[in-house]
Chains A and B, each alone.
Chain A
Amino acid sequence: MNAHRTSRLLWSATAVGFLAMAASWFVCGPARFWANWLVWFLFLFTLALGALFLVALEHMVAARWSVPLRRIPERLSSLLVPVSAVALLALGAVPVLYPGARPAAAADPVLGGKAVWLGLPFFSARVAICVALGLLAVAVMFRDSLRQDASRDPRYNVRARRFAPVCMAIFAVLVTQAAFDWIGGLEPAWYSDVMGVYLFAAAFLAGLAATALALLYLQGRGRMQAIRFDHWYNLGGFLFAMTVFWAYIAFAQYMLMWYGNLPDEVSWYQARTHGAWLGVALLLALLRFFVPFFALVPRDAKGDPRRLLWVSLVVLASHWIDLYWLVFPVLGRTPLFSWPELGFALFFLGGTLLWVRSAMERGEDMPVGDPFLKEGLEFRL
């Protein structure tokens, strides 16, 4: 399929998705519209943040193996630019889905005392600050790296290494804010210290899976041919490690709440592990842990691009199921999945792929100005 036809297909998918989205507002009401919007916002936000985290991690620990493929997570992290607009629009969900921002909250004995924190003005201020911080991090990490392509100036590496810890701090704030406000705020009477780490594991996984897919896309076009088994192996190893980490965090949260059996904690799981939602939870455990874990256990599988292709697709699909399972139970006891969800998927996937396709043309495929590129290309396990 040639590039022109692909882009026409993506544009029409986005347009059809947009129409379905608009129709779902009028047919199914704003609550379901905003729930879908929220899931896709968090999906793309965590994906872009995960990519940013990979870049910052490389600079912070002075990793060499990932220098040749660093440009890919850099390009993916530029998704934060359109996602910022999605984030600001998502504020429309706050009066609809978030009990703490409704007028009735003032009379509630629990929510009343937190009205300032949960209310729309301060909520919006936090989101705005986070969006600005995210854009700053992407600007410093990606724009300067692009400049190095032409200038070949090694001072960029020094600056990036100094900025990487700041970038990590920004990442931590953004992920925590998303877990705290966007997910925790849906049920403000519920507490979990682990939600931030849970979302961090999910973000890292999404960033890794998207990087692997983008790399495969470029290799399919005859680019990035210098990436060998050894690089794939490290990427697959990370994917494997974070799969286990996610399962560990998810189960730790579940088991402690199950054991404590406190009404304000366990009610969250009551809604998510009973009736049809139990099926979604089991599907999530299967696709987010068991399938990738057993697929990546053998040594050669971690460096096999064909294996990583479908595992990455499973990881991204399960990332969507994860967010769906976190957000949608506030709408009711039956999981809603029908044409509005497919319409949102068409719109956001089409739009994202359009953005990523053009982002993949920005700068050289590898950071040619980086003095450590040669070392990274010669990397052996």
Chain B
Amino acid sequence: MSETCAVLGLFESADALMEAVPRLRSQALGRLEAYTPYPVHGLDRALGQRRSPLGGMVFIMGLLGALTALLFQWWISAVDYPIVTGGKAPSSWQAFVPVMFEIMVLFGTFTAGLAMLLLLNRLPFFGHPVLRSKAIQGITRDRFALALEADAPGFDPQAARAALEAAGARDIELLPAPEPGPFLTASFIQRSLAGIAVSCVVAGLVMYGAVKLFPVLPPMAHMLDQPRLDPQKPSAFFRDGHGMQLPVPGTVARGHLPPPFANEEQAAVLVNPLPRTPEVLARGRFEYQVRCAVCHGVLGNGVPTLSAAYGAKPANLLAPNFRAYTDGAIYGTIVLGKNAMPSYAADLPEDARWAVVHYVRALQRAGNAKDEDLP
């Protein structure tokens, strides 16, 4: 016969139970616990149970979950392997929010479930002594039980029995402490769960290390075996066997429409479509200095930055005959080339050419400044 772990008495009604609670609580003979067939209003307060800390736990773990998801997604998509998806920046917080929400809920629900069962209700607890009592049939039907449970070594079952009797309880039972089983114990189950959790973490770390260290092993190497076009290799996909195909005849790249003129005279009537804004002039200056200044000089005066050994004699754009050119004629020269100057149509898109025209005009005015140009 093992030690008595609880003394249990039955009451006829919830009201009788509620009346007995304060009297038994004041005597402090052991931990007072109630077993009722349905929730009784105010019983938790009468038993002096403190507010459950579960809400706070869930709140903190939920915040932690959201934060974990945010940092994890930020790390994988902006730090560890930055990749542009759908034209968005790698660290776009908007894309992280749904997963943050999910992980927040996941952490919150796991905390709620596990903390409620394991921490607060002290489960798993197999063979609870009340389940083996004679009173359990009544408790699950229409009887209300109060139990004084041993919470310290000095628990006195006889004093507890007397106190319950005095409080009006009937069918008082002394419940023996349960024999611990070999497997279905709290510590065994908790250790098994901890083992599973540790194995998961270890397996994840091993997988991560394997992928990082040995990317050519299967299954990682399967990424390489996919139908695709390799450079300088035949392909069975197209009928002519080439991997790369020529563009469809007549294809025009953006900004490279064929010019609607064949010579400078036809081009002369064109009008510069760009406004003369600081941005356009800055672009014209940039393109001029990259493409034109090598020969025509930074000032446009035809003094090249090349060595004199280079035979050509570039035009002085500040000379009167070039100042007399229309915008369209300069544009035509850029597109068609002139004498030793090749066409720059392939290098400069349409708006860059017109920006250069504006800049050449600015150079011409600066090189032939009049008194009234002074501020």
Contacts and interface: CB of A to CB of B under 8 A. Distances in A.
Contact of B94 (A254, A297, A298, A299): A254
B97 A380 contact: no
B114 interface: no
A251 B41 contact: no
B41 A380 contact: yes
Interface in B92-126: 94-95, 97-98
A251 B55 contact: no
A26 interface: no
Given A259-B86, A261-B87, A298 B55 contact: yes
Interface string A221-252: 00000000000000000000000000000010
Contacts of A297: 59
A190 interface: no
A258 interface: yes
A133 B312 CA distance: 87
B98 A255 contact: yes
Interface string A252-272: 001100110100000000000
B55 A258 contact: no
Contact of A259 (B55, B59, B95): B95
A255 B97 contact: yes
Q: Which of A255, A259, A380 has the most CB of B within 10 A?
A: A259
Nearest to A255: B94
A298 B51 CA distance: 12
Nearest to A260: B86
Contact of A251 (B86, B87, B88, B97): B97
B41 A299 contact: no
A254 B98 CA distance: 12
B20 to A, nearest CB: 22
A81 B272 CA distance: 63
Given A297-B59, A299-B55, A258 B94 contact: yes
Interface residues of A, number: 10
Nearest to B52: A299
Contacts of A259: 86, 88, 94-95
A380 B97 CA distance: 37
Interface in B36-80: 41, 55, 59
A251 B97 CA distance: 9
A299 B59 CA distance: 11
Contacts of A299: 55
A255 B100 CA distance: 14
A297 B58 CA distance: 11
A59 B41 CA distance: 27
B94 to A, nearest CB: 5
Nearest to A261: B87
Nearest to A251: B97
A352 to B, nearest CB: 36
B89 to A, nearest CB: 12
B42 to A, nearest CB: 9
Nearest to B41: A380
Contacts of B88: 259
A380 B39 CA distance: 13
A297 B98 CA distance: 21
A73 to B, nearest CB: 28
Interface in A313-331: none
A380 B94 CA distance: 42
A261 B97 CA distance: 17
Nearest to A256: B94
Contacts of B86: 259, 261
A261 B98 CA distance: 18
Contacts of B41: 380
B59 to A, nearest CB: 6
Interface in A254-304: 254-255, 258-259, 261, 297-299
Nearest to B86: A259
Contacts of B95: 255, 259
Contacts of A251: 97
A298 B87 CA distance: 41
B21 to A, nearest CB: 19
Contacts of A255: 94-95, 97-98
B339 to A, nearest CB: 47
A114 B159 CA distance: 88
Nearest to B56: A298
Interface string A171-183: 0000000000000
Nearest to A258: B94
A261 B94 CA distance: 13
B2 to A, nearest CB: 41
Nearest to A252: B98
B231 to A, nearest CB: 32
Contacts of A380: 41
A380 B86 CA distance: 52
B141 to A, nearest CB: 24
A255 B41 CA distance: 45
Interface string A39-63: 0000000000000000000000000
Contacts of B97: 251, 255
A258 B98 CA distance: 14
A299 B56 CA distance: 10
B49 to A, nearest CB: 15
Contacts of B98: 255
B375 to A, nearest CB: 34
Nearest to A259: B86
A328 to B, nearest CB: 24
A298 B56 CA distance: 8
B126 to A, nearest CB: 32
B332 to A, nearest CB: 36
Contacts of B59: 297
A378 B175 CA distance: 39
A259 B98 CA distance: 13
Contacts of B87: 261
Interface in A340-381: 380
Given A255-B94, A255-B95, A255-B97, 14 more contacts: A251-B97, A254-B94, A255-B98, A258-B94, A259-B86, A259-B88, A259-B94, A259-B95, A261-B86, A261-B87, A297-B59, A298-B55, A299-B55, A380-B41
10 contacts: A251-B97, A254-B94, A255-B95, A255-B97, A255-B98, A258-B94, A259-B86, A259-B95, A261-B87, A299-B55
Interface of B: 41, 55, 59, 86-88, 94-95, 97-98
Which 7 A-B pairs have CB atoms at the shortest separation, nearest pair first? A258-B94, A255-B94, A299-B55, A380-B41, A297-B59, A251-B97, A259-B86
